[in-house]
Amino acid sequence: MPYMVDIRDVALDELQAVKPFYRRRIVRAIDKQLVHEPNVETKNRKVLTGFRSDFEHDEPVWELRVGQYRVYYDVSEESQTVVVRAVREKPPHVTTEQIS
C-alpha cells in the first residue's frame, strides 16, 4: 500500500525558494522514493541517529539525497504517511548537522 506524502508549510516554503529545475528533480524524487518503502535505507536514503534540527520532527528523521539537496522527513507507520519537514541545500564539504 503506498504511503501518503504530506509536505509541511516550512518545507513547502523552502522548496519554493529552490530554482525550478532543481525543484522538479526534488519533487520527482519525493514522488518516486517516498511513496513506497520510505523507511528502507538505500543509496540515497538513510536514517539519521542523534539528529538535532531547527525544524519540528518526530524520531527517527530520515534524509533523502537529491543532488546537492537534502529532504528531511519522518514516517508514521500507523497512518501510512511520510511527513516532509525540510528541504535544504547541502554545499560541498558541509555536514548534515551543519545545514539542519
Quote the domain boundaries for residue 73: 4-99
Structural domain total, the chain: 1
Question: What Rg do the C-alpha atoms of the chain give, in angstroms?
Answer: 12
List residues bridging with 87 in a β-sheet. Answer: 71
> What CATH number is given to the structural domain containing 32?
3.30.2310.20
Which residues are CB-neighbours of 94 under 8 A, at least 6 positions away? none
Spatial contact of 82 and 38, defined as CB atoms under 8 Å apart: yes
Report pTM: 0.91
pLDDT, tens digit only, all 100 positions of the chain: 899 999 999 999 999 999 999 999 999 999 999 999 999 999 999 999 877 788 877 789 999 999 999 999 999 999 999 999 999 999 888 877 777 6
The SS3 call for residue 66 is strand
DSSP structure class, residue 2? P
| Cell digits of residue 59 | 524520531
